[in-house]
Amino acid sequence: MKSLDVKVWGVRKRNTKKSSYDVRWTVAGNVFSEQFRTKGLADHYRSKLLRAAHAGEEFDTETGLPDSMVEKAASMTWYTFALKYLAMKWPHAAPNTRSGINEALTAVTMALLDERPGQPSEDLIRRALRNWAFVLPGPDEREVPTEIANTLHWVAKASRPLSDLGDAAIGRAVLDSLKLKLDGTAAAAETVRRKRRTLVNALHYAVDLGEFKENPITGIRWKKPKVAGEVDPRVVANPAQARALLTAVSYVGGYGRARGRRLVGLFACMYYGALRPAEAVGLTDADLKLPEAGWGTVLLNRTRPSVGKQWTDSGETHDDRGLKNRPAEEVRLVPIPPQLVAILRQHLDTFGTAEDGRLFTNERGGVVGSSTYYRVWQEARALALPPAAVASPLAARPYDLRHSALSTWLNSGVDPTEVAERAGNSVEVLLSRYAKCIDGRQEIVNRKIEELLREYE
- Is pLDDT above 60 for 155? yes
Name the percent of the chain lying above pLDDT 70: 87
Give the pLDDT band of residue 383 (cuts 50, 70, 90): very high
Do residues 75 and 302 lie in contact, with contact meaning Cβ atoms separated by under 8 Å? no
How far is CA 176 from its chain centroid?
Answer: 17
Q: Which three-class secondary structure state does DSSP give residue 308?
A: coil
Least confident of 66-75, 165-174, 222-231, 261-270: 66-75
What is the number of alpha carbons within 13 Å of residue 349 lying toward its C-beta? 7
pLDDT given for residue 310 in this prediction: 72
Q: Which is higher by pLDDT, 3 or 430? A: 430
pLDDT given for residue 237 in this prediction: 92
Q: Which is higher by pLDDT, 323 or 279? A: 279
Give the pLDDT band of residue 104 (cuts 50, 70, 90): very high
Give the pLDDT band of residue 327 (cuts 50, 70, 90): low
Q: Classify each residue of 34-62 as buried b or exposed e, where b means 16 or more C-beta atoms within 10 Å of its C-beta.
A: bbbbeebbbbbbbebbeebbeeebebbee
Give the pLDDT band of residue 222 (cuts 50, 70, 90): confident
pLDDT given for residue 84 in this prediction: 95
The whole-number average pLDDT for the span 3-17 is: 67
Least confident of 9-23, 48-62, 225-239, 329-343: 9-23
Distance between CA atoms of 190 and 228, rounded to whole angstroms? 9
Highest mean pLDDT among 123-132, 221-230, 438-447: 123-132
Ramachandran angles phi, psi of 428, nearest 5°: -60, -45
Give the pLDDT band of residue 307 (cuts 50, 70, 90): low
pLDDT given for residue 206 in this prediction: 93
Give the pLDDT band of residue 375 (cuts 50, 70, 90): very high
* Mean pLDDT, the chain, integer: 85
Give the type of residue at 151.
T
pLDDT given for residue 186 in this prediction: 82
pLDDT given for residue 360 in this prediction: 92
- Is pLDDT above 90 for 133? yes
Name the percent of the chain lying above pLDDT 90: 46
pLDDT given for residue 425 in this prediction: 83
Q: Which three-class secondary structure state does DSSP give residue 140?
A: helix
Give the pLDDT band of residue 226 (cuts 50, 70, 90): confident
pLDDT given for residue 225 in this prediction: 76
pLDDT given for residue 329 in this prediction: 65
pLDDT given for residue 336 in this prediction: 94
pLDDT given for residue 322 in this prediction: 54
pLDDT given for residue 174 in this prediction: 93
- Is pLDDT above 70 for 422? yes
What is the number of alpha carbons within 13 Å of residue 94 lying toward its C-beta? 18
Distance between CA atoms of 220 and 218, rounded to whole angstroms? 6
Q: Which is higher by pLDDT, 127 or 42? A: 127
Relative to beta strand 30-36, strand 59-60 is: unpaired
The whole-number average pLDDT for the span 341-369 is: 91
Give the pLDDT band of residue 187 (cuts 50, 70, 90): confident
Please give the angle made by the CA atoms of 77, 78 and 80, to the nearest 5 degrees.
Answer: 65
Residue 127's alpha-carbon distances to 135, 378, 428, in angstroms, are 11, 31, 41
pLDDT in tens, 243-273: 999 999 999 988 788 899 999 999 999 999 9
Least confident of 171-185, 338-352, 382-396: 171-185
Q: How many CB atoms lie within 10 A of CB 387?
A: 8
Do residues 406 and 434 lie in contact, with contact meaning Cβ atoms separated by under 8 Å? yes
Q: Which three-class secondary structure state does DSSP give residue 77?
A: strand
pLDDT given for residue 317 in this prediction: 58
pLDDT given for residue 445 in this prediction: 60
- Is pLDDT above 90 for 160? yes
Per DSSP, 10 falls in state: E
